[in-house]
Chain A
Amino acid sequence: MSKQKQIGMLFLLASIAFAALSCSVAANKEPFFGKTVPPERNIFRYVTGDEPESLDPAISNGQPEARIYMALYDGLVEYDAKTLEPRPALAERWQGNNDSSEFKFFLRHNGRFSNGDPIDARDFVYSFRRALAKETASRNAYLAYYIKYAQAFNEQRVFVRDPQTGQFLIAKDFDDQTPPEPLAGTPLEPFKEEYPAAADQAGVGHYANEHNTEFHKQMHTPLRLTLPGDAKARNKALDANPKLKAAVEGKELVPVKAEDIGIEAIDEYTLRISLVQAAPFFTGLLAHQVFRVVPRNVVEKYGSQWTQPQNIVTSGPFKVKTWRPYDKLVVERDPMNWDVASVKLDEIHFYPMSDNPTIMNLYKVGEIDAVLNHTVPNAWLEVVRTKQDYMDGPEAAINYLLINTLHPPMNDVRVRKAFNYAIDKPAWSKWRKVTKPLTAFTPEGIFPGYPQPKGDQFNPEEGRRLLGEAGYPVIQKPDGSFSCPKFPVDQVEFIYNTQESTKAMAEFMQAQWKQNLGITVTLRNMEWRTFLNVRSRMEYKGFARGAWGADYMDPFTFLSLFYTGGENGTGWLDPKYVTMLDDANRMLDPKKRYELLAQAEKYLIDAQPMIPIDTAAVNFVKKPYVKGMYPNAGSLYPWKYVYIERDPSKWDYGTPSMTAD
């Protein structure tokens, strides 16, 4: 090759690279991000997140898995594609009693597992009991604690019975805090007051006394006392309560069994669930993976191996075709499914991936048809959000900062408030581009009709005033900046998990506090699992990053984070707040209940054990030919309604309408 040719070659290489780069810039004018050629076959290729932990719906509590479980398993109800409200699935219809503490589900008769076995009420009884069994060790079991004795069974507690009379000790005799019994826990007479006399949803009247079994009568007795099954913990509890200790003396301890849990197959196709409290949101909760139905004989035959591709039997619109971990999970339409006529796709290919740029690349070249929520890197948003395949909507999730409220100076509510006042949240959201500033603790604009309280707006002067009041005067220096010399900066830090977006948040907060209060908070980043460990054990000082997404579509899924003390990571626990939530949940009128919940939320934000930052946003990309997939607030998609539209005139140009059909 001559000298000229060599130089020519170099130029060629350089121009290829240049052309490549300019292509990606020129692509900005394209209406969509990358190729828009539908897959040849009637399949949908999707990245749902990292490799699924398990195909067993009782095991994982992750959202990537939740989406897979929605393809593979049906429950009593299914999420609505747009609103996430419960829609009939294996339960054709249901009926709640007057205070939503007991529900009856009427199952359809054509429910079938993928091996053809019929699904009836007993399968649900089994699935619920299994999810709660200690051996299953389900991380989601707590969601079922609303069911009577579910928590006691899950925690392996014991009843206390008098061997002479056969009577059980009653909880409320020993604890003033026990809330009054819901209707499901009071004697059945008279029936009519418990269930509405009017017709249920489907226009058929049903009364509680129609199915008044022995078990049901048992449920309708006051809540029994339970004690820890572990002798050490039990003795500790007894020592703390002399009255209880005396009462337990000479009585026999009866372990709470699976059969004691408040779920009953009244007949083959009627299921009754009795709760320990009024829970109007309970049916919404039932779409959660932990309540989906699994095949008893297969689970019992294969044990932990039952989800392996050669063994697995499922109950959803799709069944496992092939599974190669870390590569691809292929599910195909299950001809046995009761609703197979509604299932539009032949197959869904789930690709387990976690690196966002890699996922977006695959999307751009058209090898996948949609990506999971939050995959578009912040730096790409400027370009991607202008495209018509960019999906955008409010998310039932929040970002917030936890505060360790047990140590000075953060144990002073004025100091906590000062730090809250000093953050310009609208500026943060503007930088993040997609989120909305938040002053309360529930996400904004997610729960229709919920009178969400307003928290404190950005107000640095007030923040400085409060700090001064707490004994840490903020001084303005001649150059206009602030300083707070008395503030013990070594007692406050900001911990976050190492990740680009969390780092940006930490730096933003640090800058705000420096600018508005004159306090420099040290940032400390940690690897994810280390971070979780430090945060949950409260081994941090000051602030920790937090985020929470709804388990179900009700404000209570957020407010309940502070319902128990040990688990919220802030050390804040106020019995008054707990009572307020209990009172709200007992309210029969949903509107009144929302009002009471909002009051509790106001109480929480006034106590400021955390600083709300923003309501997260659903943002992802899906090809315009993917129809029936909506950017709902929980990023959960009932897959059977998703289909590939080959006619460009019927494509989605922009976010599809989210108003209910």
Chain B
Amino acid sequence: MLRFIVRRLLVTIPTILIVITITWGLIKLAPGNFYSGEKRLPPAIEKAIREKYGLDKPWYQQYGKTLWGIIRHGDFGTSLRYEGQSVNAIIRRSLPVSAAIGILAYLLALIGGITAGSIAALKQNSRWDYMSMTLAMLGISVPNFVLGPILVLVFSLSLYWLPPSRWGGFPSRNLILPVITLSAIYMAYIARLARAGMLEVLRSDYIRTARAKGLSEKDVLIKHALRGGLMPVVSYTGPALAFLLTGTVVVERIFALPGLGNYFIQASLNRDEPLIIGIVAFIAITLLLMNLLVDIAYAYLDPRVRYH
């Protein structure tokens, strides 16, 4: 097992370096620069800016400097757009915001999805089933950039119940709408997965056996059915968690949250090279680690994986 993990970790390092290199190359290919504005700068000022940030150096020196900083110190450098702010500090500051929203949305999606899915499965073809599956269908098909504003319109602008946007710290009422918006699609998926899984399991022999030996319906469900029925959910939630943790561009934008996703959009629009590289690398690392965790979980559940 340890060898498996170490091997996987070793593969991660070149992957990250490739991701950084490709990102760096793409930024260099993108037209425009971080300092341009409506009025073109006098050439001398443009030159001074390029020298100040080392953009006048040959590409291999710039690339080498970027890479060396990352390898040697784990330092992604200083933002070009935000004078004097280090990329590492920006990530440190914005990660908790994204993570807070992400984890809450994740928990909500799990609890809501599994509950709705299980109820739907238990009362198959009832109104409950139809209602939860209709909602799930809606949740999957309504994109979050539509759902978010609708929730804001109803609960903030008309009923004045909840703040429409901004970060209010943790915990705060500001979290409610973004978390719901973010979790909707995941909740819907989980509900459908849970329903399908549960339906399959409920028809299986061992459930019949459990019922036959006189277990209460509660025990049958919780001790036997859920465990088997939720296997598809588990394999779905690993990557989902990675996406939720590393910032969700649209939701952070709609609700003006100072998370990684918001920084990422702005960094790309601003051609803020070190910040883009820093965030991309961070997301890549998180994704790889999450996948590794899922693989470890699989290996734990299914010994065959370990020997491949």
Contact = CB atoms under 8 A, between A and B. Distances in A.
Interface of A: 3, 6, 16-17, 19-21, 23-24, 34-35, 50-51, 53-54, 56, 59, 61-62, 134-135, 137-139, 141-142, 151, 154-156, 303-308, 324-327, 351, 353, 355, 357-358, 361-362, 364-365, 367, 527-534, 536, 546-548, 561, 564, 566-569
B258 interface: yes
A529 B33 contact: yes
Contact of A139 (B35, B81, B93, B165): B35
B52 A135 contact: yes
B33 A53 contact: no
A534 B31 contact: yes
Given A139-B45, A154-B44, A304-B78, A529 B84 contact: no
Given A139-B37, A304-B84, A355-B253, A533 B31 contact: yes
Given A304-B78, A326-B262, A529-B32, A361 B165 contact: yes
Nearest to A156: B44
Given A307-B84, A362-B164, 7 more contacts: A53-B83, A306-B84, A324-B258, A365-B163, A529-B271, A530-B31, A567-B42
B83 A155 contact: no
Contacts of A56: 83
Nearest to A155: B44
B49 interface: yes
A498 to B, nearest CB: 11
A358 B254 contact: yes
A325 B35 contact: no
Contact of A6 (B32, B131, B160, B270): B131
A364 B154 CA distance: 13
Interface of B: 30-45, 48-49, 51-52, 78, 81-85, 90, 93-94, 127, 131, 149, 152-160, 163-167, 253-256, 258, 262-263, 266, 269-271
A24 B154 CA distance: 9
B269 A24 contact: no
Contacts of B85: 325
Contact of B153 (A20, A61, A138): A20
Nearest to B160: A365
A565 to B, nearest CB: 11
A21 B155 CA distance: 11
Given A304-B78, A361-B165, A364-B157, A533 B36 contact: yes
A139 B52 CA distance: 12
Contacts of B49: 137, 139
Contacts of B90: 325
Identify the 6 closest CB pairs spanning chains A and B, nearest first. Answer: A529-B32, A326-B258, A20-B158, A54-B83, A304-B84, A155-B44
Given A139-B45, A357-B149, A548-B38, A54 B84 contact: yes
A351 B32 contact: no
Contact of A23 (B37, B43, B158): B158
Nearest to B155: A20
Given A365-B163, A528-B269, A24 B153 contact: yes
Q: Which of B38, B83, B85 has the most CB of A within 10 A?
A: B83
Contacts of B38: 532, 546-548
B127 A6 contact: yes
29 contacts: A16-B159, A17-B154, A20-B153, A20-B154, A20-B157, A20-B159, A24-B153, A54-B83, A138-B45, A139-B35, A139-B37, A139-B41, A139-B49, A151-B44, A154-B45, A154-B48, A304-B83, A325-B258, A353-B165, A355-B256, A358-B164, A358-B256, A361-B164, A367-B166, A529-B32, A529-B36, A533-B31, A533-B32, A567-B42
Contacts of B37: 61-62, 139, 532
A532 B39 CA distance: 9
Contacts of B33: 529, 533
B282 to A, nearest CB: 16
B118 to A, nearest CB: 17
Contacts of B166: 327, 351, 362, 367
Contacts of A531: 32
Contact of B152 (A23, A51, A351, A361): A361
B266 A358 contact: no
Contacts of A534: 31
Contacts of A325: 82, 85, 90, 93, 258
